[in-house]
Amino acid sequence: FSQEAANSEDFETVARLKQEKLELEETLKIKESEAKDAVVTLEDVAAVIENWTKIPVHKLTEGETTKLLCLEDRIHKRVIGQNDAVSAVCRAIRRGRADITFKRRPVSFIFAGPTGVGKTELVKTIAEVMFDNEDALIRFDMSEFMEKHSVSKLIGSPPGYVGYDEAGQLTEKVRRKPYSVILLDEIEKAHPEIFNLFLQILDDGRVSDSHGKIVNFENTIIIMTTNAGSEFDSASIGFNSDSAVTLKNNVEKSLKERFRPEFLNRIDEVVTFSPLTKDELKRIVDLMLLDITERMAQKGAKIEITENAKTLILEKGFDIKYGARPLKRAIQTLVEDKLADFSLRNTISEGMHIIADRKGNEIEITVLSLQQKS
């Protein structure tokens, strides 16, 4: 291009191209000098292997022992209450990871209890804590697997059937991400053929897909959730000291009625979740509001939600029968809707100090001041 510009007597372009050439040559010299001192470290190799195989090699090299010993503390940063359930889960995970139990089998749980008490949240937290990413969660809603033929969705269709060329939803995901948490939501809805498949996985730690390829489940954690046996008298829960024992007995009885003994015998731990108390729900409100605080901080503003406002949220969202889910709807109605209206009417600027306080049965949004940047 420089020669063409010179031939056409475009001397300005010639000068610019020469300058760009000199700059590129200088950059190349710097890169070459840096490359001479470059050393491939263990962390670099681990990162490449992790990128190829989706196995968290880099995290494993950092020492899984410390992670396992501090498991309860890390989980309780996101999961409020359910101390017995969290403790049981952590003990079972440590047994599996410390090679105390038969290694080829995946660690498996049944999470049983009423709705809105943190079963799914605990599953997500385990995925993040154990494998450092919520994307390590493979989730299946068992209402999609109520027919006999639906087992082919998990391992692939047999030869001669539609979908034979497609991989199974479960086997392919585990093959690509062998370090994963598998969530089977509302397991009681699944067809009995699904349990036959998991009998082999829970016993042998592997299964063959429709193409005959063996998929290893050794490094997965399999968690099944159910509401079976969690029916209770809302007037007694939280005030009767025997309610937790009664709930556990109801769950065990219901599971024995719904599932075969050989299936239940292969589960490492049946974890019963108790209904949340009012104090625990108050702490959950604080945790949910923290997300709003962080989102406002990204806009450069500070929001202060008073204790009176939190009390109103708890009053509007407290329902012992439905757990923490009504709290989320109360926060959406009382806080997020008001913040959305405020944001549309007033530009939220950096340094703005917003107060959310109770006024009657509503929450009022006001601006306290504009903080000066130091």
Domains of the chain: 2-36 (no CATH), 70-272 (3.40.50.300), 278-370 (1.10.8.60)
CA 164 remoteness from chain centre: 31
pTM over 0.85: no
The conformation of residue 341, written as its DSSP 8-state character, comes to: H
- How far apart are the C-alpha atoms of 339 and 38, rounded to whole Å? 51
- How far apart are the C-alpha atoms of 180 and 194, rounded to whole Å? 19
Task: Evaluate if residue 96 carries a pLDDT over 80.
Answer: no
Residue 374: predicted pLDDT? 36
Band (286; pLDDT cuts 50, 70, 90): very high
Task: Evaluate if residue 372 carries a pLDDT over 50.
Answer: no
If we measure between CA atoms, which residue out of 200, 195, 187 comes closest to residue 229?
Answer: 187
CA 168 remoteness from chain centre: 22
Burial 217-255 (b: 16+ CB within 10 A, else e): bebbbbbbbbbbbbebeeeebbeeeebbeebbebbbebb
Quick check: helix, strand or coil at residue 147?
A: coil
Task: Evaluate if residue 353 carries a pLDDT over 60.
Answer: yes
Mean of per-residue pLDDT scores for the chain: 83
Task: Evaluate if residue 244 carries a pLDDT over 60.
Answer: yes
Mean pLDDT within 169-175: 91
Name 359's bridge partners.
362
Mean pLDDT within 57-65: 59
Decide if 277 contacts 118 (C-beta within 8 A).
no
Alpha-helical regions (H) of 189-334: 192-204, 243-258, 261-264, 278-298, 307-317, 325-331
CA 52 remoteness from chain centre: 22
- pLDDT tens profile 119-159: 999 999 998 888 877 888 999 999 999 998 888 888 888 77
Mean pLDDT within 209-230: 87
